[in-house]
Amino acid sequence: MESVSSALVSESIGLYLHVPFCKRRCTYCDFVSFTDFSQVKEYFEALWREIELWSRFLPTIRVETIYVGGGSPSDVPFELLERTFLRVQDLFVLTEDFEFTVEVNPSCEFVERLRFLNVNRVSIGLQAADEAVLERVKRRHSVGDFFKAFEAAKSFAKVNVDFIVGLPGESDRTIENDVRVVETLRPDHVSIYLLETHEEEPGNVVNEVVENRYERFVEAVKAMGYDRYEISNFALDNSFCKHNLKYWRNQDYIGLGVAAGGHLGRIRYVNSPRLEEYISKLKEGDLVFDYFSRNDDLQELKETIFMGLRLSEGVNIEKLRQIWGKFDPYELFHDLLGEFLEIEDGFLKLTKRGFDLSARVLADVIDRVSLMAVGR
Ligand code: SF4
């Protein structure tokens, strides 16, 4: 790990902290989170050790963004979050304009307390402005709770609201309600995700219907003046999520906690998703990776393109050439240019149609990059 600091590309990083606990699981959840809270304290002690270890590997680094996600950070004792932030503040140098985001399930009391941690961005998981849907997927809040949490957050922070389209029990009316929420509250930032449906789950609506709803929601939000700066993310007045931009631009960030991942220079890692293992290894003073690798040129190129094309700004071709000297997007994508891809001011990006069909276009783009490497 001594080589970590020399692997860095930038002088500042993003820092992600995973809080893998939820009092109850939502039916659609794919995240690593646990409902047994008996090891919460031990988990945080391990997390604090991990923070300490990384601060030793990166003694001069500045932290530009902190993102606390989960799980449900709002479900754990507040004091543990407070001590976590103090530890980060003590051991790392934060940039003056650092962005500090905490994900919350709508809870007014919890949001109020974030103000005292210097949190300046709150991401609220509403998911659907429809009580019946929330109940069906076992969310633990009502639409009313969301409104209260939103007002509390708005008074001191930038606010993101998360929506999911495609939840069981959803109808056209749900999307109309969602649109109305955005129209009325005008959050600084909105994320709209499309739930991947698993056919066998009862109550899931047909894909095409869901895709149409998604498109309608997206168009409505754009018509309100939101900038679709990433496939699923929309911002008013340049209120982009600086932390997530680090992921999409394939920049440097570290992830701490169970199942969290990082990217530093060419290093890519993912921590163990196993709680016991995470706690016990950190007790012994060791980091606990499930995956740790140094990307070769091809892997780094593929990641940079795949993530970068998700952004409306696209991906800097010069950056791609720094990874793969002879990278020639004109030759490689000649038949996609115009309809699905375009090149503007040195950036390769998706066209409007490419954005709409992003899953298919991105898969095609990555296949071509892999084939290109065969002929190197
Ligand atoms: S609150 Fe989030 S992490 Fe927790 S179960 Fe629900 S979707 Fe999963």
Could you tell me if 61 and 175 lie in one domain? yes
Question: Domain check: are 237 and 304 in the same one?
Answer: no
Q: How far apart are the first and last CA of the chain?
A: 31
Per-residue pLDDT, averaged over 305-327, amounts to 96
Give residue 204's pLDDT. Answer: 56
Distance 210 CA to ligand 1 centre (A): 21
The percentage of residues in the chain with a pLDDT greater than 70, rounded to a whole number, is 94
Instruction: Please tell me the distance between residue 161's alpha carbon and the centre of ligand 1 in angstroms.
Output: 15
Whether 266 is in a domain gets the answer no
Residue ranges of the alpha helices (H) in the chain? 4-7, 40-57, 78-91, 108-114, 131-136, 143-154, 172-185, 207-223, 242-248, 275-283, 297-308, 317-323, 329-332, 352-356, 358-374
Predicted confidence at residue 199, as pLDDT, reads 57
Tell me if 291 is assigned to some domain.
Answer: no
Q: Give the CATH number for residue 190.
A: 3.20.20.70
| Ligand 1 centroid – CA 29 distance (Å) | 6
Do 232 and 333 reside in the same domain of the chain? no
Task: Select from 213, 229, 246 the last residue of a domain.
Answer: 246
Last residue of some domain: 182, 211, 246?
A: 246
Cα(34) to centroid of ligand 1, in Å?
9
Q: How far is the CA of 375 from the centre of ligand 1 (A)?
A: 44
Residue 263 falls inside a structural domain: no
Using pLDDT thresholds of 50, 70 and 90, give the confidence band for residue 376: low
- For a mutational test of ligand 1's pocket, the pick from 18, 22, 126, 167, i.e. the residue with the most ligand atoms closer than 8 A to its C-beta, is 22
> What residue owns the CA closest to ligand 1's atom 6?
26
β-strand 233-235 against 253-256: which pairing, if any? unpaired
Closest by CA to 340, choosing from 354, 323, 328, is 354
Q: What whole-number distance in Å separates Cα of residue 85 and Cα of residue 64?
A: 14
Judgement on whether residues 37 and 152 belong to the same structural domain of the protein: yes
**What is the model's pLDDT at position 207?**
84
| Distance in Å, CA 62 to ligand 1 centroid | 30
- Which pLDDT band holds residue 93 (cuts at 50, 70, 90)? very high
Q: How confident is the model at residue 374 (pLDDT cuts 50, 70, 90)?
A: confident
> What total of structural domains would you count in the chain?
2
Q: Is the pLDDT assigned to residue 283 strictly greater than 70?
A: yes
147 and 212: one domain?
A: yes
Shared domain check, 322 and 201: no
Residue range 160-179, pLDDT digits in tens: 999 999 999 999 999 999 99
pLDDT tens-digit series, residues 102-117: 999 998 899 999 999 9
pLDDT at 84 over 70: yes
* Atom number of ligand 1 nearest to Cα 70: 3
Best CA proximity match to 97, nearest among 12, 159, 18, 162: 12
> Are 212 and 130 in the same domain?
yes
Q: Rounded to the nearest whole angstrom, what is the distance from the C-alpha of residue 26 to the centroid of ligand 1? A: 5
Q: Which domain holds residue 309?
A: 297-374
DSSP codes, 162-218? EEEES-TT--HHHHHHHHHHHHHH--SEEEEEEPPP-TTSTTPPPHHHHHHHHHHHH
CA angle centred on 18, ends 42 and 302, rounded to 5°: 140
CATH number for the domain that contains residue 323: 1.10.10
Longest dimension (CA), the chain: 59
For ligand 1, atom 7, which residue shows the shortest CA distance?
29
Question: What would the pLDDT profile of 220-263 be if each residue is shown by its tens digit?
Answer: 999 999 999 999 999 999 999 999 999 999 999 999 999 999 99
Provide the 3-class DSSP secondary structure of residue 97.
strand
Closest to 166 in 3D by CA, of 143, 145, 185, 193: 193
233 and 325 in one domain?
no
Supply the pLDDT for residue 9.
Answer: 66
149: nearest Cα among 161, 135, 163, 131: 161
For ligand 1, atom 2, the nearest C-alpha belongs to 71
- SS3 breakdown of the chain: % helix, strand, coil, rounded to 5? 40, 25, 35
From 21, 23, 27, 31, the mutation candidate for ligand 1 (largest count of ligand atoms within 8 A of CB) is: 31
Q: What is the structure's pLDDT at 263?
A: 97
Q: Among 246, 281, 305, which residue terminates a domain?
A: 246
On whether both 307 and 234 belong to a single domain, the answer is: no
Phi-psi region of 122 (alpha: psi -120 to 50; beta: other; left: phi over 0): beta
Band (96; pLDDT cuts 50, 70, 90)? very high
- Choice among 34-38, 145-149, 303-307, 369-373 with the minimum mean pLDDT: 369-373
Angstrom distance (rounded) from CA 69 to CA 351: 31
* Residue identifier of the C-alpha nearest atom 3 of ligand 1: 71
> How many CB atoms lie under 10 A from the CB of residue 368?
15
